[in-house]
Chains A and B, each alone.
Chain A
Amino acid sequence: MGVLLEVKNLVTRFYTQEGTVYAVNGVSYELQEGETLGVVGESGSGKSVHALSMMGLIPQPPGKIESGEVIFQGRDLLKLSREQMRLVRGAEVAMIFQDPMTSLNPVLTIGTQLTEGLKLHMGMTQTQANRRAIELLEMVGISDASRRLRDYPHQFSGGMRQRVMIAIGLSCNPKLLIADEPTTALDVTIQAQILELVRQLRDELGMAMIWITHDLGVVAGVADTIQVMYAGRVVERGPINAVMKDPRNAYTLGLLNSLPRMDEKGRGERLHQIVGSPPDMRVKPVGDPFWPRNPYHTEKCKQETPELEQVADSVPGHMSAAWYDLKKDRESQQLQGEG
């Protein structure tokens, strides 16, 4: 398996009337072929903006990609012309978004929207494209597909619309599917249907995925690798089991601890809360952006921004950006608690 995508030091800012928004502040990572990466973070963490930047979907102005490279199969996507980029999007890299109602055109039939990409990218005729569209709808579990091609988005339910979006995303056999909160607007039973479908299609088609979400539960069920973002930076990254069982960044730990679990008794126990609120992204970050909310912060956290580095005593690939040693700090805290 080779490297499919390499992101190097991506920086995106928005120059607005209220000041500069430091949305993405140096994101670097590699994605292997067939790998599923879960990108987790709260609103404003830069998780969506980083993906939109890679795909050239940031409105410019006010947005601007200040620096960085996005190497996809040997080409830097950020250096492509608009026309070249148009041929990448939808064909080699596809994206599905959170709200299937606003990302489908309400005045075009599902059939028109499904066959558009097939004709543009695969050079199919309308008849060939229609035939493929029916196959795709059947693949994502929409019955009576040939009739439903003539239907409009409002004639579908939320879960069905998201299935259509997935069918459109997969129509040109992409190597990489970027899913930006695709199940957030759906009910849990429908979310379970979509997750099951995506897992099955991914294994069948062998594509890589970047799954952007705020829901750690969803990531646990779908991703191989997890990447936690805070204030436009990656603060922790690694194999899903290592990060979720043994988090080494205080933000990851705080997030995991603040979640109640459905499979555990909870009434009467206080939830661990992360104090304070997320940082104002209009202020240029200094030091570790999480330090004011971090009970384990050191003096160094206030001044210098930590880089993502391999955690010495964990599995290879488990990286954290922290000046403190979370494991040691927590152990000594426990000892103090007992003594």
Chain B
Amino acid sequence: MGNVTATPQTIALPTDSAGREMLVSVRGLKKHFPITSGIVFQRQVGAVKAVDGVDFDVYKGETLGLVGESGCGKSTTGRAVLQLYRPTAGSVVFEGNELTTMNNAGLRAARRRMQIIFQDPFASLNPRMTVGNIVNEPLVVHNIMNKKQRKEYVAQLLERVGLNPYYINRYPHEFSGGQRQRVGIARALALNPSFIVADEPISALDVSIQAQVVNLLEDLQEELGLTYLFIAHDLSMVRHICDRVAVMYLGKIVEIGPTDRVYDNPLHPYTQSLLSAVPVPDPEVEENRRRIILSGDVPSPANPPSGCNFRTRCPVAFDLCSDEPSPPLIEIEPGHFAACHRVT
């Protein structure tokens, strides 16, 4: 996009031991939602530990996948990284700045560089605004460009995400789900961010439309050098789009590593059973697969099991898993970490 005027910042990013630039660094991130009791004098009687101590880095230009079942805290993690939920504890460093201690004015400036695409393209677009105004709004809020420039730029953005700029004055209900998701992507791109959290961006779309949106996200990444945190429960799509993947269970990351290593050589028993449960569109493969069927349901995050929180469903749990505190992430092979007493 030629005349993008959102200032291209060149920030010296911190690097890790391997020399990779860390765009986002998350350490000990926790988000607990209080459970209160009483009507007038509310007192806290507990907490839902949605995210309970999460560490990861997102390197510049990569796509990090965050996968897990519903209620594992993956969406909360994405929002806590962007400070849409203020974390209970922990640190989030983005482009060298600590976000958790930043005031609202500082955050507003930082949000120019980090954006989010939501799951539901029906709920995340204001039905009373035209798509032109929806994409234009971030530019108005941040006071970028004059009115005429903005109009031209919005048309460019719509075209870039594969929508005809002719539709600039139409309302969201006039578009299909896939087109609406493109509007959401255009809005996220308007401020020329470096980091985008994509929170289940394709799970509400039809199968034939999912591929279109995923291809668009990949094209934009290549063209604009974007970095994605891709939150999803579709493990097949994650394998396709992500460079690295982190698997969450009950508020904690149980395994993280390069995508192909995690899929070809899953270390944590939860990852193993999760991957074995994903159906493959091939009848021969389906017939001969060994599935590890987990018993029971995910425990409540308000009252997680002691020790390793997967031990209640784990097929290979032993006494250490309940006696010891939850195991830390240990590097088993280069860049591939798992948190399990059985894996050392």
Contact = CB atoms under 8 A, between A and B. Distances in A.
B212 A259 contact: no
A270 B281 contact: no
B240 interface: yes
Interface in A136-189: 157, 159-160, 187-189
Interface string B135-155: 000000000000000000000
A275 B209 CA distance: 8
Max count, chain A CB within 10 A of own CB: residue among B178, B233, B236: B236
Contacts of A258: 207-208, 210-211
Interface stretch (B116-124, B283-291, B301-309): B283-291
B293 A263 contact: no
Interface residues of B, number: 48
B277 interface: yes
B282 interface: yes
Contact of B69 (A187, A261, A267): A187
Max count, chain A CB within 10 A of own CB: residue among B208, B237, B260: B208
B168 to A, nearest CB: 19
A272 interface: yes
A217 B297 contact: no
Contact of B280 (A220, A241, A255): A220
A86 to B, nearest CB: 34
B171 interface: no
B212 A196 contact: no
Nearest to B258: A267
Interface string A189-224: 111110110000000000000000011111111000
B309 to A, nearest CB: 15
B236 A260 contact: yes
Nearest to B281: A216
Interface residues of A, number: 48
Max count, chain B CB within 10 A of own CB: residue among A196, A216, A271: A271
Contacts of A217: 236, 278-281, 286
Contacts of B237: 260
Contacts of B130: none
B285 A277 contact: no
Nearest to A241: B283
B126 interface: no
Given A187-B298, A220-B281, A267-B242, 10 more contacts: A188-B277, A188-B278, A189-B294, A192-B291, A192-B293, A219-B281, A254-B208, A261-B281, A270-B218, A277-B209
Interface of A: 42-43, 157, 159-160, 187-193, 195-196, 214-221, 240-241, 244-245, 254-256, 258-267, 269-275, 277-278
